[in-house]
Amino acid sequence: MRVQRPKPITEQVSDILRQRLRNREYPPGSRMPSESELALELGVSRATVRTVMAKFATEGLILRKQGDGTYVNERIRDVDFRYGGIWDFSRLIEDNGYTHSIKTLLVEERNPTQQEAQALGLDGNTAVINLQRLFMANNQPAICTNNAISRSFIDVNIDLTQFNSQLPIHKLLQEYCHQDIAYAITDIEAKSAAAPINAVLRRSADTPLLQLTETFYDKVNQPLVFGISYFDQAILRLRLVQAWG
């Protein structure tokens, strides 16, 4: 276990303001206190407040008007909506108004597929750990994910049957591989899914699925995880907020 430093001030400010937004202490559509007021109240510099506000603005959470003030965007419901940052399927399900749970379908060690080997930069003989999971929304199957991690990242002594597969992928990597994800590249496609996928999602084959193909990298550009996920659109919406400035 590592010694915990106190959180950076910007993060603390961010937490406080997110909390107030979630509690509707600053109601949707209303004008927030000015940056100077917030800085004074929280005992930090205006620059620090502005750093946080800039992040909120790119998420579309607030609308800033020069010469006027900063307003809470009533169109963005969930304060935890994330723009930037890797997608967290558990949160995505919660954001859509469901309670989530994770069902582990498979944990196995096997040789990589050709696609996995290419994405992870492996030769065909290096094994991968394959983790297949089903994200449930109100106990209905919503997302089916398949993640491959190079076997060499994981301590050989780990008992796969004891694997805590409830964690989001970046936590899994921290826990079992001591690796931090720096960024991800995601391809979004519309697919007619194969029969097995339709079976686990309990859906008919006539409507197409959203397929996300993700590769996660660390700071030295080493590929960590390759994953393919399928979305059931009957339950979930994939929604982006894109802000200018």
Partner DNA sequence: TAGTGGTCTAGACCACCCT
Partner DNA sequence: GGGTGGTCTAGACCACTAC
Which chain residues interact with DNA by CB under 7 A?
5, 8-11, 32, 34-37, 43-48, 50, 53, 64-70, 245
Query: What stretch of H or E contains 205?
Result: none
Q: Indicate which of DNA, a second copy, none lies near residue 176 (CB less than 5 to 8 Å, by partner kind).
A: none
Using CB atoms within 10 Å of the CB of residue 201, give its burial: 0 to 12 exposed, 13 to 18 middle, 19+ buried: buried
Q: Indicate which of a second copy, DNA, none lies near residue 67 (CB less than 5 to 8 Å, by partner kind).
A: DNA
Should residue 242 be labelled a site residue for a second copy when binding is judged by CB under 8 A? yes
Q: Which is nearer to DNA, 177 or 209 (CB)?
A: 177
**Backbone φ and ψ of 243, nearest 5°:** -115, 150
Q: Which is nearer to a second copy, 65 or 202 (CB)?
A: 65
Q: Indicate which of a second copy, DNA, none lies near residue 44 (CB less than 5 to 8 Å, by partner kind).
A: DNA
Question: HSE-up of 118 (CA within 13 Å, CB side)?
Answer: 4
Q: Which is nearer to DNA, 31 or 191 (CB)?
A: 31
Using CB atoms within 10 Å of the CB of residue 227, give its burial: 0 to 12 exposed, 13 to 18 middle, 19+ buried: buried
Should residue 73 be labelled a site residue for a second copy when binding is judged by CB under 8 A? yes
Q: What is the dihedral of CA 193, 172, 85, 69, to 10 degrees?
A: 130
Should residue 238 be labelled a site residue for a second copy when binding is judged by CB under 8 A? yes
Specify whether the CB–CB gap between 66 and 35 falls below 8 A: no
Q: Indicate which of a second copy, DNA, none lies near residue 182 (CB less than 5 to 8 Å, by partner kind).
A: a second copy
Should residue 144 be labelled a site residue for a second copy when binding is judged by CB under 8 A? no
Specify whether the CB–CB gap between 129 and 157 falls below 8 A: no
Q: Indicate which of DNA, a second copy, none lies near residue 50 (CB less than 5 to 8 Å, by partner kind).
A: DNA
Residue in 37, 189, 194, 205 binding a second copy, rule: CB under 8 A: 189
